Amino acid sequence: MQVSSVQPVFKLELNHKVTPGIVTIAKYDGTHYCLTASAGYDKIIIHHPHGGMSAGRAQRSQAHGEVSELNLSQAVIALEAGPIKPDCARDMLLIGSPTQILAYDVHNNSDIFYKEAPDGVNVIIAGHFSKYTDMLVMVGGNSSVSGINCEGEEVFWNVVSGKVISMITFDFDKDGKNELLIGCEDSYIKVLKDDHFIMEIAETGPVSCLSNINEVRFAYGLANGTIGIYEEGIRLWRVKSKQNARNLQWSGENLVCCWANGRIDWRDCTGRVLRRVQLRSDAAAMILADYRTVGIPDIVCVSTKGEVLGFPPILDNVGSNTAKIAPSEEDRLAVTELLNKKQALMIELQHYESNAANTSLDIDRPDSAMPTNTRLQVAVAADTDEGCLQLAVSTNNDTIVRMALVLAEGIFDSGETLARHPHSAQLRSVLYIPLKPPRDVPVDVHIKALVGYPESEQFHIFELTKQLPRFSMYTVVSSSIVKSKVVNYVSFRITERVQRICIWINQNFLLDEEIEINNEETKELHISFMCLRDMSRLDLDFCPDGQVKITTHDIRLAGDLIQSLAVFLNLSDLQVLQIHIYYF
For residue 296, state whether it binds other proteins (rule: CB under 8 A). no
Identity (one letter) of the amino acid at 228?
G
Work out how close the CB of 244 gets to other proteins at its nearest, in angstroms, rounded to a whole number.
13
The correct pick among 89, 269, 315, 338 for binding other proteins (CB under 8 A) is 338
Please state, in angstroms and rounded to a whole number, the distance separating the CA atoms of residues 452 and 576: 56
Based on CB atoms, which residue is closest to other proteins, 110 or 278?
Answer: 278
Work out how close the CB of 302 gets to other proteins at its nearest, in angstroms, rounded to a whole number.
20
Please state, in angstroms and rounded to a whole number, the distance separating the CA atoms of residues 282 and 305: 8
Based on CB atoms, which residue is closest to other proteins, 7 or 414?
Answer: 414
Based on CB atoms, which residue is closest to other proteins, 435 or 565?
Answer: 435
Please state, in angstroms and rounded to a whole number, the distance separating the CA atoms of residues 422 and 427: 6
Work out how close the CB of 386 gets to other proteins at its nearest, in angstroms, rounded to a whole number.
12
The closest of 222, 206, 147, 140 to 178, measured between CA atoms, is 147
Based on CB atoms, which residue is closest to other proteins, 231 or 367?
Answer: 367
Strand partners, 69: 45, 59
The correct pick among 54, 293, 384, 458 for binding other proteins (CB under 8 A) is 458
Please state, in angstroms and rounded to a whole number, the distance separating the CA atoms of residues 448 and 283: 36
Work out how close the CB of 404 gets to other proteins at its nearest, in angstroms, rounded to a whole number.
10
Please state, in angstroms and rounded to a whole number, the distance separating the CA atoms of residues 244 and 226: 8
**HEC sequence for 18-34:** CCCCCEEEEECCCCCEE
Please state, in angstroms and rounded to a whole number, the distance separating the CA atoms of residues 295 and 281: 29
Q: Segment contacting other proteins (CB under 8 A): 28-36, 209-217, 363-371, 563-571?
A: 363-371
Please state, in angstroms and rounded to a whole number, the distance separating the CA atoms of residues 380 and 390: 6
Work out how close the CB of 343 gets to other proteins at its nearest, in angstroms, rounded to a whole number.
6
Residue 571 C-alpha from the chain's centroid: 26
Phi, psi of 87 (to 5 degrees): -100, 20
Q: Segment contacting other proteins (CB under 8 A): 179-187, 287-295, 373-381, 560-568?
A: 373-381
Strand partners, 275: 4, 266
Q: Which residues contact 399 (CB under 8 A, 6 or more apart)?
A: 370, 371, 374, 429, 451, 452, 453
Q: Which of residues 428-457 bind other proteins (CB under 8 A)?
A: 448, 450, 456-457
For residue 106, state whether it binds other proteins (rule: CB under 8 A). no
Q: Segment contacting other proteins (CB under 8 A): 137-145, 169-177, 371-379, 536-544?
A: 371-379
The CA R_g of the chain, rounded to the nearest whole Å, is 29
The correct pick among 293, 358, 377, 465 for binding other proteins (CB under 8 A) is 358
For residue 322, state whether it binds other proteins (rule: CB under 8 A). no
For residue 323, state whether it binds other proteins (rule: CB under 8 A). no
For residue 332, state whether it binds other proteins (rule: CB under 8 A). yes
Please state, in angstroms and rounded to a whole number, the distance separating the CA atoms of residues 567 and 570: 5
Based on CB atoms, which residue is closest to other proteins, 129 or 462?
Answer: 462
Based on CB atoms, which residue is closest to other proteins, 363 or 481?
Answer: 363
Work out how close the CB of 327 gets to other proteins at its nearest, in angstroms, rounded to a whole number.
6
User: Is 181 in contact with 191 (CB distance < 8 Å)?
Assistant: yes
For residue 280, state whether it binds other proteins (rule: CB under 8 A). no
Work out how close the CB of 341 gets to other proteins at its nearest, in angstroms, rounded to a whole number.
5
User: Is 373 in contact with 391 (CB distance < 8 Å)?
Assistant: no
Work out how close the CB of 373 gets to other proteins at its nearest, in angstroms, rounded to a whole number.
5
Based on CB atoms, which residue is closest to other proteins, 318 or 361?
Answer: 361
Based on CB atoms, which residue is closest to other proteins, 457 or 545?
Answer: 457
Based on CB atoms, which residue is closest to other proteins, 99 or 374?
Answer: 374
Please state, in angstroms and rounded to a whole number, the distance separating the CA atoms of residues 27 and 65: 19
The closest of 214, 161, 215 to 189, measured between CA atoms, is 161
User: Is 547 in contact with 491 (CB distance < 8 Å)?
Assistant: yes
The correct pick among 329, 444, 524, 534 for binding other proteins (CB under 8 A) is 329
| Residues 66-95 as x/- pattern, contact with other proteins by CB under 8 A | ------------------------------
Please state, in angstroms and rounded to a whole number, the distance separating the CA atoms of residues 379 and 468: 11
Residues in the chain: 584
Q: Segment contacting other proteins (CB under 8 A): 100-108, 324-332, 377-385, 475-483?
A: 324-332
> Measuring CA to CA, how many Å separate 134 from each of 128, 449, 472?
7, 58, 46
Q: Segment contacting other proteins (CB under 8 A): 21-29, 328-336, 553-561, 568-576?
A: 328-336
Based on CB atoms, which residue is closest to other proteins, 242 or 280?
Answer: 242
User: Is 260 in contact with 20 (CB distance < 8 Å)?
Assistant: yes
| Residues 121-140 as x/- pattern, contact with other proteins by CB under 8 A | --------------------
> Measuring CA to CA, how many Å separate 578 from each of 57, 420, 551?
56, 46, 12
Q: Segment contacting other proteins (CB under 8 A): 103-111, 150-158, 370-378, 544-552?
A: 370-378
DSSP secondary structure letters along 469-536: PTBTTEEEE-TTSS------EEEEE----HHHHHHHHHHHB--SS------TT---EEEEEEETTT--
Work out how close the CB of 363 gets to other proteins at its nearest, in angstroms, rounded to a whole number.
6
Q: Which of residues 192-251 bind other proteins (CB under 8 A)?
A: 225, 240-242
Q: For residue 556, count other CB atoms closer than 10 A to its CB.
A: 11
Q: What is the DSSP letter of 386?
A: T
Please state, in angstroms and rounded to a whole number, the distance separating the CA atoms of residues 239 and 259: 13
| Residues 393-432 as x/- pattern, contact with other proteins by CB under 8 A | ----x----xx-x------xxxxxxxxxxx----------
Q: Segment contacting other proteins (CB under 8 A): 48-56, 175-183, 204-212, 329-337?
A: 329-337
The residue count for binding other proteins (CB under 8 A) is 68
Judged by the rule CB under 8 A, the positions of this chain that interact with other proteins are: 225, 240-242, 326-329, 331-332, 334-336, 338-339, 341-352, 354-355, 358-359, 361, 363, 366-375, 397, 402-403, 405, 412-422, 448, 450, 456-463
